[in-house]
Amino acid sequence: MTKDAVIAILKNQTEYLSGEKISKSLGISRAAVNAAIQMLRREGYDIASSTNRGYLLNHAPDSLNMGDLLALLPARRMETVLCLDTVDSTNSRLRDMAQNGAPEGQIVLANEQTEGRGRMGRRFSSPREKGIYLSVLLRPKGAPADATALTAWTAVAVSNAVENVCGVRPGIKWVNDLVMGARKICGILTEMSIEGENGHIQFVIVGIGLNVNRRPFEFPPEIQDTATSLLTETGHPYARALLAAEVIKELDRLRSEWPGESKKYWDAYCNSSLTVGKEVRILSGGMERTGFATAITEQFGLRVRFPNGKAETVIGGEVSVRGS
């Protein structure tokens, strides 16, 4: 869309830029530039204009759209990024696209999800403009058992992005929760499609839900004690487009490093682990057990010692740290 291209240009500009230069660089008419500027102003962009000098972006709202991302990522990368205003679930939308041949690395993100999904069939609360709701399509060669590692690698990738933008690194609760101040700021939902004949992975969709500019009372009452946001934990609001672009860059790095750089991700994961060395409660197959988490295995399973002295590697189910 023209306005996406116009805002991408203005965001990378610190001086006034003439309407003529904008129209030339985009190959559109001056009238089209003017119409795009009016549209952007209606969306909350504060764009100054001066008869002789042109346009200058004074302030951008915390918007997250194709234009904002185009200012932060190469145009080539943006060819496989779809940024929606609202969607039922970015994972569901990307699944449809994957079934229709979308390429490895395709991203779907949205300002709001009306039916955001969490693990264990739970809902993931995803209100408008408060977080990053983003899914990436992977087509790895490998076995379904790799899902745990992919989820763990993603936890590291998102932690890197948060650290790059906010200067603080979240902890990781096995296997997929990013935590700050003992509360969850991000969840990851990994879903996969398996080839019927050979049991190989057809594709994997990794969905990331990161709470960004959300105040405590904006969470549903039932999760107010367990959920938090970057705003609450650091005291600063963040530009979601900047964070989303950083997450995409880190996911691209993950894709290029999978599976060879496992040791690097394993080290980073272990350093951030909030589960190892704690009493844990494990829910799986309708059974609840308690034990002591002793280590993360190289495949990112959780090594647990049980009161009877036996040890086991847990690779799925729900694990909570006792007393938190």
* Interface positions with ligand BTN (CB under 6 A): 89-91, 113, 116-119, 122, 124, 126, 133-135, 187-189, 207-209
- Least distance to ligand BTN, CB of residue 92, Å: 7
Work out how close the CB of 206 gets to ligand BTN at its nearest, in angstroms, rounded to a whole number.
Answer: 8
Nearer to ligand BTN, 60 or 148 (CB): 148
For the chain, the farthest-separated pair of C-alpha atoms sits apart, in whole angstroms, at: 81
Instruction: Output the smallest distance, CB 172 to ligand BTN, in A.
Output: 12
Backbone φ, ψ for residue 34 (5° rounding)? -60, -45
Closest residue (Cβ) to ligand BTN?
187
Asked if residue 219 lies in contact with residue 210, where contact means CB atoms within 8 angstroms, the answer is no
Nearest distance, CB of residue 279 and ligand BTN, angstroms: 21
Beta bridge partners of 81: 107
Q: What single-letter amino acid sits at 249?
A: K
Q: Which is nearer to ligand BTN, 19 or 207 (CB)?
A: 207
208/242 with CB nearer ligand BTN: 208
CA–CA distance, 230 with 60 (Å, rounded to integer): 20
Beta strand pairing call for 54-59 and 46-50? antiparallel
Q: Based on CB atoms, which residue is closest to ligand BTN, 7 or 89?
A: 89
Residue nearer to ligand BTN on the CB measure, 117 or 130: 117
CB of 254 to ligand BTN, least distance (A): 16
44 phi and psi, to 5 degrees?
105, 0
- Torsion on CA atoms 170, 175, 140, 117, rounded to nearest 10: -90
